[in-house]
Amino acid sequence: MYKVLLVDDERIILEGISSIIDWKEIGTELIGTARNGLEAYDFIVREKPDIVICDIKMPGMTGLELVARVSKEFPEVKFIILSGFNEFEYAKRAMEHGVKHYLLKPCNEKSIVEALTSIINDLSTDAKKEQSLFDMKSRLDQIQPYMKKQLLKEFITTKLDNN
């Protein structure tokens, strides 16, 4: 299960999205909500969510400031940005920090689920690649002593044959 944090300063948005999405069905768990960027940052440090769904305009720390700070400290955390602002500059700044999903309010359940599903697919692909690299390194670690021994034997044999 991927852990999700929902951040918005509007209580009605928090409650609406919290209740409309079938979190378990898409392999996620809503582990908390926050009403502003500062509260969200503290939550992220403490709970380490995989995905943060976040508003742009909030008191304390904006969504873009939150994304910038978290992407430096916790680059594995993925963001979905919610905004009532249809301005390219906000989207561009969010993309500079690796945000792939920028949804305009009001957004429907389908668009949120599609964004979550896309991120989950990316995360599971990354996890598979990481596991594959770990497996290769483990195999290499296992055969390395044998390879060293064989190379040393060949070196010695070649030296002896040439003398």
**Which helix (DSSP H) or strand (DSSP E) does residue 29 occupy?**
strand 28-34
Omega within 30 of 0 (cis) for the link into 145: no
Mean pLDDT of the 75-86 span: 87
Res 87: pLDDT:
67
Comparing 30-34, 58-62, 67-71, 155-159, the range with the smallest average pLDDT is 155-159
Q: How many Å from the N-terminal Cα to the C-terminal Cα in the chain?
A: 65
Q: What is the pLDDT of residues 40-51, one digit of tens each?
A: 999 999 999 999
User: Measured between alpha carbons, how far is 11 from 2 in angstroms, rounded to an integer?
Assistant: 23
- What is the rounded distance in angstroms from the CA atom of residue 40 to the CA atom of residue 77? 13
Q: What is the dihedral of CA 77, 94, 99, 96, to 10 degrees?
A: -100
Question: With pLDDT > 70 as the criterion, what percentage of the chain qualifies?
Answer: 90
What tokens appear for 15 in the block? Answer: 């409650």
> Average pLDDT, stretch 64-83?
93
Mean per-residue pLDDT, 131-148: 77
Q: Which pLDDT band holds residue 88 (cuts at 50, 70, 90)?
A: low
Residue 53 has pLDDT above 80, yes or no: yes
The band of 134, judged by pLDDT with boundaries at 50, 70 and 90, is confident
Q: Across the strands, what pairs with 101?
A: 80
